[in-house]
């Protein structure tokens, strides 16, 4: 009997031990893992359209700002992980090197097998680009040289159907050149055609005005973020909620306007003239722009000056404004300018006046938008800027949001509307164009300055190289691959 009891106890202990060994391992969701880590790792690409560093070496870009907000939404830090190309992005997400991809990507059927897509953030058009003053193809059948694209982009499957209908079409997919480098290759006449997004083209036309759109191959392609298809939906669900909220409160629309709202129209002649002036006129006054810009970026002050006078010290208009910053006589006196035709005085006074206008803009206006409201005031007067805000409120828009107010500026020229204002008629359409032009010039100056810094950096690297480098025979394969990265004519 005692032996039977002992056997029963041993059996029960053995059963309990086996049951304990079969307990499932506690499940930790993907979102909880990110929160435990304290960082959201985002795979991205360096680009003005996505993520780059501004003049103060601070990270910026439309998708960067939106991603920063998502990290705050999750209660973690944002860690941007720049990768070389789209193929590397997909590989990084698949291997869980990163948690999310944010790099102006668009969905494809092939990607859907491994990844999930966020709701649409904004839309782009697939545009065939060529160099101005060369033969322009009107449709895909007239593309008689290789059409270059970046590997892994949605352009690749898009072109497959066109290639079936046009078997003579040659497609060159490269993972060594990004869209910016492909466009530069067109300018340098190393290639003739490339397929890129319209926003990418619009940004680069300010630096390379000889780039031109041949035709649009596909319109309204969504730009999305991507996450891996995992066993839980925690991160994916948070992503859907976050982007939905940012669309609902207008944040995404405001971000899009800030980064792309000024690039919708391109003036070839004006852009060429501006780029020439940056070489021939701007260097004479750069030091003064830098000296008197105060808390503002000197390139912004220079952009205002170009819009006002094309950097001509003795410029004057029929309305009586004069000088580099085209100051009225009362304005000049208010900022201590005794000679409006003196370029140094004009730059100093104009910068001071613009800062005063920024300070007068109501604090209800977002800090990023204040400069645009101030520039409207600089152009047509502070009172007319307030009138534009009043009209925006009447129209049901947000008087504190530049994206809404700028669309109502032209109404200051229509009797139906200016009769309802305090200060009456104003050249609102001119003010709209005025601000857009300044934004374009400013972005071009930022890019030119970045290019100069990069050139100086490369020159420094060249100077620091060993005088008699010894080539390693084992690197021949790598050397050959690097040479293949440059497209042939």
Q: List, as own/partner pairs, every contact residues 263-269 make where C-beta atoms lie below 8 angstroms and the sequence separation is at least 24, other chains included.
A: 263/199, 263/202, 263/203, 263/205, 263/206, 263/440, 264/202, 265/436, 266/202, 266/205, 266/206, 266/209, 268/132, 268/209
Largest CA distance in the chain: 120
Tokens for 296, please give them.
Answer: 């503002």
Distance CA 109, CA 93 (A): 17
Contact 196, 105 (CB under 8 A): no
Contact 225, 239 (CB under 8 A): yes
Distance CA 46, CA 48 (A): 7
End-to-end CA distance of the chain: 96
Residues forming a β-bridge with 174: 150
CB atoms within 10 A of CB 113: 8
The DSSP H or E segment spanning 443 is helix 428-463
- Is 385 strand, coil or helix? helix
CB atoms within 10 A of CB 102: 29
Q: Work out whether strand 122-131 and strand 211-228 pair parallel, antiparallel, or are unpaired.
A: antiparallel
The torsion angles phi and psi of 76, rounded to 5 degrees, stand at: -135, 175
Q: What are the start-end ranges of the E strands in 106-200?
A: 115-117, 122-131, 147-150, 171-174, 193-197
Distance CA 341, CA 337 (A): 10
Distance CA 65, CA 63 (A): 5
Contact 42, 79 (CB under 8 A): yes
CB atoms within 10 A of CB 188: 13
Q: Which residues contact 55 (CB under 8 A, 6 or more apart)?
A: 297, 299, 446, 449
What are the residue numbers of the active site?
308
Q: List, as own/partner pairs, every contact residues 180-185 make where C-beta atoms lie below 8 angstroms and the sequence separation is at least 24, other chains included.
A: 180/47, 180/204, 182/148, 182/149, 182/150, 183/129, 183/208, 183/211, 184/208, 185/148, 185/486, 185/487
Q: Which residues contact 56 (CB under 8 A, 6 or more apart)?
A: none
């Amino acid at each position: 009997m005692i032996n039977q009891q002992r056997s029963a106890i041993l059996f029960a202990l053995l059963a309990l031990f086996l049951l304990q060994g079969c307990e499932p391992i506690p499940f930790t969701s993907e979102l909880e893992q990110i929160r435990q880590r304290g960082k959201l790792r985002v795979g991205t690409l360096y680009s003005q359209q996505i993520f780059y560093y501004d003049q103060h070496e601070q990270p910026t870009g439309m998708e960067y700002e939106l991603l920063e907000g998502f990290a705050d939404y999750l209660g973690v830090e944002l860690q941007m992980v720049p990768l070389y190309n789209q193929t590397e992005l997909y590989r990084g997400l698949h291997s869980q090197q990163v948690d999310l991809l944010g790099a102006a990507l668009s969905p494809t059927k092939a990607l859907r097998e491994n990844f999930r897509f966020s709701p649409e953030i904004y839309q782009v058009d697939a545009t065939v680009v060529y160099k101005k003053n060369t033969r322009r193809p009107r449709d895909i059948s007239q593309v008689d040289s290789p059409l270059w694209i970046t590997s892994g982009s949605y352009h690749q499957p898009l072109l497959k159907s066109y290639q079936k209908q046009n078997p003579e079409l040659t497609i060159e997919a490269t993972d060594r050149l990004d869209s910016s480098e492909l466009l530069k290759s067109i300018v340098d006449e190393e290639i003739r055609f490339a397929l890129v997004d319209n926003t990418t083209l619009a940004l680069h036309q300010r630096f390379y005005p000889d780039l031109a759109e041949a035709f649009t191959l596909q319109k309204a392609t969504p730009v999305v973020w991507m996450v891996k298809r995992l066993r839980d939906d925690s991160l994916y669900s948070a992503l859907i909620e976050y982007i939905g909220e940012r669309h609902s409160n207008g944040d995404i629309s405001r971000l899009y306007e800030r980064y792309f709202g000024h690039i919708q129209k391109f003036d070839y002649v004006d852009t060429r003239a501006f780029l020439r002036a940056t070489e021939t006129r701007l260097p004479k006054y750069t030091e003064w722009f830098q000296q008197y810009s105060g808390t503002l970026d000197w390139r912004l002050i220079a952009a205002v000056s170009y819009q006002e006078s094309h950097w001509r010290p003795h410029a004057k208009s029929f309305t009586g404004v004069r000088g580099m910053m085209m100051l009225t006589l009362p304005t000049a006196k208010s900022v201590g300018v005794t000679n409006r035709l003196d370029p140094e005085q004009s730059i100093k006074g104009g910068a001071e006046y613009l800062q005063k206008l920024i300070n007068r803009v109501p604090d209800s206006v977002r800090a990023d938008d204040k400069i645009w409201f101030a520039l409207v005031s600089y152009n047509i007067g502070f009172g007319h800027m307030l009138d534009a805000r009043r009209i925006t409120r009447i129209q049901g828009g947000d008087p504190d949001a530049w994206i809404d107010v700028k669309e109502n500026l032209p109404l200051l020229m229509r009797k139906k509307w200016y009769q309802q204002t305090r200060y009456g008629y104003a050249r609102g359409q001119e003010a709209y164009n005025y601000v857009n032009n300044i934004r374009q010039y400013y972005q071009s100056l930022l890019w030119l300055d970045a290019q100069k810094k990069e050139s100086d950096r490369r020159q420094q690297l060249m100077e620091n190289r060993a005088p008699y480098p010894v080539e390693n025979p084992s690197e021949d394969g790598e050397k050959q691959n690097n040479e293949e990265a440059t497209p042939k004519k």
